[in-house]
Structure 1
Amino acid sequence: MKVLKATITTFFFSLITSFGIHSQTNIVSTNTTAEEILQGNYNPNDYNPTINIDAPSDIVNTIYSSINADSIKSYLEVLSTFTNRNSGSDTVSNSYGIGAARRWIYQKFQDFSSQNENRLVTSYLQFDRDICGMDQHRNVFTVLPGTNNSDHKVIIIEGHFDSRCENVCDVLCDAHGMEDNGSGTALVMELARVMGKLSLDNTIVFMATTAEEQGLYGADAFADYALDKNIPIKAVFNNDVIGGIICGETSSAPSCPGENHIDSTQVRIFSGGSFNSPSKQLARFTKMEYQDELEPIVSVPMMISIMSAEDRTGRGGDHIPFRQAGFPAIRFTSANEHGNASNGPDYHDRQHTTDDILGVDTEGDMILDSFFVDFNYLARNTTINGNAVAMAAIGPKTPDFAISSFNEDITVEITDQTQYDTYMLLIRSNMNDFDTVFTFSGSLTHTVSLPEDVYRASVCSVDEDGIESLFSREEFITTTVGVGEILEEKKGVELFQNRPNPFDEATTISAFIENPQKYQSTYIIITDLTGKQVERIDFTAKKGINEVLYNHGYKKVGTFSYTLYLNNKPFQTKKMVFAY
């Protein structure tokens, strides 16, 4: 019965995340001042601190030096005492259930505001929906008003605070939810404490969402609210399962090498789309800002892995409703997860069970001494988040550009936001990371030479402090060697090698099609070495480069073939390797 229940839950979860069902009603902020700030209707001078911390180096150093592993631990210890934070659990008790938990988070946000000259404005986002027998629900959020509302933008950092055990609506079980997702909640709270003293151009929202476990409803409600109230969201940073370092017997692909494997120096960023994806560009921005600002000064360097898929195989998170609403949104998740939440009869891991606890007492003295959440690892991930949020909040405006190629030369021209002295040309092949970054100053045009290939190009502005803007849209550009031809003149159709290859859970397959109107059907067939079809991916061809994302998921490793079909006839075949 458990297997059937898990299957039904996964199917329903897939439906709501795929089609973006929005059925929350009566969505309101309980604090009208918070809503006015979110809409840009406020006087920034009302929230000025006595001492401005606004220089980039001071901001980075404040975040790095102030985030405290013991502080994060203290939040988790209290969150654990509420025992069950299921979205349908008790809202009356002061010590048990989701009501007590959200009131405590609200009060902590108020305390952080008091510690920072009352600069944080705290509210609930209340909405109606029948979830696990409860009709009304509340996110908790606090707002740090930006210092410049002439070009008002809002950045959200979030983590869901609801928890669950084996049954998605069990409101009486012990559902401490320490990794999933006390860790993300503690991260958000710590950043509210630390960043409340900073002076940032853009407005920051620190939010603990509810009802993630039943279908991302809290995040969905806020995304709907933002659209309805015309709140200009610039970026969303979601944190979910972000504090554990131990691999379980199972884990949602792609994840860990094997049971009890430890990884405390890597974090994964998931985001939707591939080519020209604002969310993927936000992930790349986050990684670059870490490499530029934090990596030179941290004592324990972290590896940030930009993942191909929007989430782990068969899973979802609170970044997805924001992406569906048109906002750039990413998800941070630990490199190692303890479980895949399958909850079958042979499932022994902690995720989505009563065993998702803070730690154990190994010495019998009633004191926890062995922890499943690594507080130092969680603190490092908190710092990565805070740095990216802050740099996005103070950086220059994103430019637009035109680009052209001749032979091996690529020329870029900045066409919008031309007031800056320095820009970057960001080049990648089909990997998630940039291959090459060119910086140019004193001119709005720049020419570089690159080997023959198909590239994805984007740009960003760089201000006088060396801070980059969020990255622009992407354009395809091709180079050839010494023949003076562009790809359109050379080949009418070409299937390219997938990238990355070998790949983990997902890979991008690209094809160039010069005259798409000639083809009534275009699709990719993936087969194993025996010729058995693994998957068919249909797509609507457009002129130029076409990309499809193939999610291999948690399947057997080995070599596979992929074939481009045009008008139901095979055109070209290549091989790829699933290696992990």
Structure 2
Amino acid sequence: MATTRIFACFLGASLAFAQDTYTFTPSISFGSNGFANWGAGTWPPASVGEVLVPQSTDSETLSLLQQMDPARIQTTIQTLVNFGTRHTASVTTSPTRGIGAARIWLMNEVTELAKPSNGMMNVSMPCYLQAAVPRSGMPIAAQVCNVQVEIKGSVDANRTYVYTGHYDSRRLNNSDYTGDAPGADDNASAVAIALEMIRILAPVVAKTPPAASIIIATVSGEEQGLYGSNFLAQTLKNASRNVQANFNDDIVGSGSNAPFSPQNQHTIRVFGAGTDYLTINSSIIKEIISTGYQDDTPSRHLGRYIQEVNAGASNVTEMDVALIYKPDRFFRGGDHESFLSAGFPAVRFTEPQEDFYHQHQDPRVQDSVTYGDEIEYVDFEYTARVGKVNLLSLWSIANAPATPSNFTYDTNIGFLAESLDTPPSYLENIIKLYWDVADDPLLDYYEVVWRPMASQQWTHTLNVGLANTTIIPVSKDNAVFGLRAVGKDGKKSPATYTLAVASQYFG
């Protein structure tokens, strides 16, 4: 049967409409993952812009990813496991056991790895005294210390991107700070990635520092109350730092359950929080929900960004990124929540199929079942691939322009008439968008992106140059819109979502 498709064309400042026809052919198809492709339909029709192709990665960045070393990851994890326990309240006087020995080793290791940066990596170990909180696994007061490096941005030092991975560990009884708690997957795996990123970036930033600042932190106290990450997030908030992303890795050591059956060894989950973690005015949150943008929080846009840059470099990372529309796993939490609570976009990386026999367990054999988070259940090749996704995302985003601000749509154009005098041009079912043009030396142009309501990833893009407004003949009801900045070297920021304002907002 023939179906008519109507779409808008631009003629100067006015809109005209043309028609074409196509023959509808029913089809049902499925992707290689077994998911149906027909869920969103072929709607809305796209008559402007281009089909979005994942942004590519420059050869220099790709060469950095190839330096991620599984053997070094194994050595780091084994060293941390050898400390016996890294409970936040564990012994600090032993040179070989407990969290005190672990953080001294980390500080020495990070200092050595940062030396090729020629001082561009500022190594520090900020601490504070955490009071006892017995109900959450802190039976005694203890020092909470983070071991971290900061690389100051060369263009906008206040714009900051943070990687976190906690180095503390726990047993079934979270208050047991003396028994063995190896914590190989949870979370020495993320610490090993942190050390590898420091090692790889040190000689690079000595010559070419990133445009924005980067912090790579191994934090403590996660298992007992997110203490170290909250200390870091609040320190950055109190300093008025513009933290545009936190990449938190936690349990990233294996794509499959032991003994590494080929299940999901090339997938990493990225959890992105929804409106429940927004710290903005409640009336704005209500608008986001009522207009259908509840899946377009900064954290989920950050997840989409990670998906896209990885897709453009997947021949090197050998990974898929699964964006999960949840703040974390089922009734679980992690250090990214400290950044979300501070008002910063944050996501959590976690392996696709957690092994609960070897997580938060006392090492033992019971009824012929082996328990415990030991190193033999960590796949070092998999962890290295996760490290590639993190390094790719962190380095790319820190060298791209900042995420745009004040992205809005007109509340007069593309709506019902308000009076007999409403201009006819206001009644077209379109969207008119506005945004602030930033004074950013990295910026080349802006692009509007959009997708059908049922699609997770952006599907279309339109280069709008350095203007601060555009009209797109796509109904606001059938798509969601974002705006991102594109740098002179092609690197792109995450998108930002649109909020409603009066048409006079920008004059």
d(CA) in 2 for partners of 1:448, 1:348: 64
One-letter amino acid of the counterpart of residue 310, structure 2: Y
Partner of 1:425 in structure 2? 448
Q: Give the 3-state SS of the residue equivalent to 2:408 in structure 1.
A: strand
Partner of 2:141 in structure 1? 134
Q: Give the 3-state SS of the residue equivalent to 1:153 in structure 2.
A: strand
Q: Does the 8 Å contact 1:395/1:470 carry over to 2?
A: no
The residue correspondences of 1:152-163 to structure 2 (distance < 5 A) are 152-163=158-169
The residue correspondences of 1:415-494 to structure 2 (distance < 5 A) are 415-417=436-438, 420-431=443-454, 433-442=456-465, 444=467, 445-450=469-474, 453-475=477-499
Partner of 1:325 in structure 2? 342
The residue correspondences of 1:159-558 to structure 2 (distance < 5 A) are 159-196=165-202, 197-198=204-205, 199-247=209-257, 262-274=263-275, 275=294, 276-292=296-312, 294-295=313-314, 297-298=315-316, 301-339=318-356, 355-359=372-376, 372-399=377-404, 400-404=406-410, 405=414, 407-417=428-438, 420-431=443-454, 433-442=456-465, 444=467, 445-450=469-474, 453-475=477-499
One-letter amino acid of the counterpart of residue 150, structure 2: V
Distance 1:265 1:475, change over 3 A: farther
Deviation at residue 116 of structure 1 after TM alignment = 2.9
One-letter amino acid of the counterpart of residue 402, structure 1: T
Deviation at residue 439 of structure 1 after TM alignment = 2.8
d(CA) in 1 for partners of 2:72, 2:257: 25
Partner of 2:125 in structure 1? 124
Deviation at residue 233 of structure 1 after TM alignment = 1.7
d(CA) in 2 for partners of 1:408, 1:348: 66
> Which stretch of structure 1 is more off in the superposition, 314-323 or 127-136?
127-136
Distance 1:421 1:123, change over 3 A: closer
Q: Give the 3-state SS of the residue equivalent to 2:496 in structure 1.
A: coil
Q: Give the 3-state SS of the residue equivalent to 2:165 in structure 1.
A: strand
Root-mean-square deviation over aligned CA pairs: 3.0
One-letter amino acid of the counterpart of residue 311, structure 2: Q
Distance 1:397 1:348, change over 3 A: farther
> Which stretch of structure 1 is more off in the superposition, 391-400 or 309-318?
391-400
Distance 1:176 1:291, change over 3 A: same
Q: Give the 3-state SS of the residue equivalent to 2:460 in structure 1.
A: strand
d(CA) in 2 for partners of 1:99, 1:206: 20
Identity %: 26
Q: How many residues were matched structurally? A: 394
d(CA) in 1 for partners of 2:170, 2:394: 29
Unaligned runs of 5+ in 2: 1-55, 133-137, 276-293, 415-426, 502-507
d(CA) in 2 for partners of 1:208, 1:432: 35
Partner of 2:44 in structure 1? none
Distance 1:92 1:59, change over 3 A: farther
d(CA) in 2 for partners of 1:302, 1:426: 24
Q: Give the 3-state SS of the residue equivalent to 2:334 in structure 1.
A: coil
Q: Give the 3-state SS of the residue equivalent to 1:213 in structure 2.
A: helix
> Which stretch of structure 1 is more off in the superposition, 466-475 or 107-116?
466-475
Q: Give the 3-state SS of the residue equivalent to 2:330 in structure 1.
A: coil
Partner of 2:103 in structure 1? 102
Deviation at residue 416 of structure 1 after TM alignment = 2.7
d(CA) in 1 for partners of 2:465, 2:221: 51
Q: Give the 3-state SS of the residue equivalent to 1:459 in structure 2.
A: strand
Deviations 1:283-332 (A, max 9, x none): 1111122223x22x41x631111101100011000000110110111100
d(CA) in 1 for partners of 2:394, 2:168: 24
One-letter amino acid of the counterpart of residue 308, structure 2: M
> Which stretch of structure 1 is more off in the superposition, 455-464 or 233-242?
455-464
Q: Does the 8 Å contact 1:426/1:434 carry over to 2?
A: no
Structure of greater relative contact order (alpha carbons < 8 Å, 6+ residues apart):
2
Deviation at residue 470 of structure 1 after TM alignment = 2.7
Q: Does the 8 Å contact 1:84/1:98 carry over to 2?
A: yes
One-letter amino acid of the counterpart of residue 285, structure 1: Y
Partner of 2:16 in structure 1? none
Q: Does the 8 Å contact 2:171/2:361 carry over to 1?
A: no
The residue correspondences of 1:48-87 to structure 2 (distance < 5 A) are 57-87=58-88
Deviations 1:225-249 (A, max 9, x none): 2222333322111000011122489
d(CA) in 2 for partners of 1:94, 1:227: 35
Q: Does the 8 Å contact 1:306/1:432 carry over to 2?
A: no
One-letter amino acid of the counterpart of residue 127, structure 1: Y
Unaligned runs of 5+ in 1: 1-54, 250-258, 360-371, 478-580
d(CA) in 2 for partners of 1:463, 1:203: 17
Q: Does the 8 Å contact 1:59/1:390 carry over to 2?
A: no
Deviation at residue 101 of structure 1 after TM alignment = 0.6
Deviation at residue 408 of structure 1 after TM alignment = 5.0
Q: Does the 8 Å contact 1:440/1:446 carry over to 2?
A: no
Partner of 2:29 in structure 1? none
Partner of 1:48 in structure 2? none
d(CA) in 2 for partners of 1:122, 1:136: 18
Deviations 1:182-227 (A, max 9, x none): 1111111111111222320111111111111111111111122222
Deviation at residue 134 of structure 1 after TM alignment = 3.4
Q: Give the 3-state SS of the residue equivalent to 2:457 in structure 1.
A: coil
> Which stretch of structure 1 is more off in the superposition, 226-235 or 99-108?
226-235
Q: Give the 3-state SS of the residue equivalent to 2:356 in structure 1.
A: coil
d(CA) in 1 for partners of 2:218, 2:476: 48
Deviation at residue 181 of structure 1 after TM alignment = 0.5
Q: Does the 8 Å contact 2:361/2:373 carry over to 1?
A: no
Q: Does the 8 Å contact 2:408/2:500 carry over to 1?
A: no
d(CA) in 2 for partners of 1:473, 1:452: 13
Q: Give the 3-state SS of the residue equivalent to 2:106 in structure 1.
A: helix
Distance 1:475 1:110, change over 3 A: same
Deviation at residue 450 of structure 1 after TM alignment = 4.0
Q: Give the 3-state SS of the residue equivalent to 1:66 in structure 2.
A: coil
d(CA) in 2 for partners of 1:107, 1:431: 49
Deviations 1:64-88 (A, max 9, x none): 1221111111111111111111111
Deviation at residue 446 of structure 1 after TM alignment = 4.2
TM-score using structure 1 length: 0.63
d(CA) in 2 for partners of 1:134, 1:306: 38
d(CA) in 1 for partners of 2:479, 2:500: 6
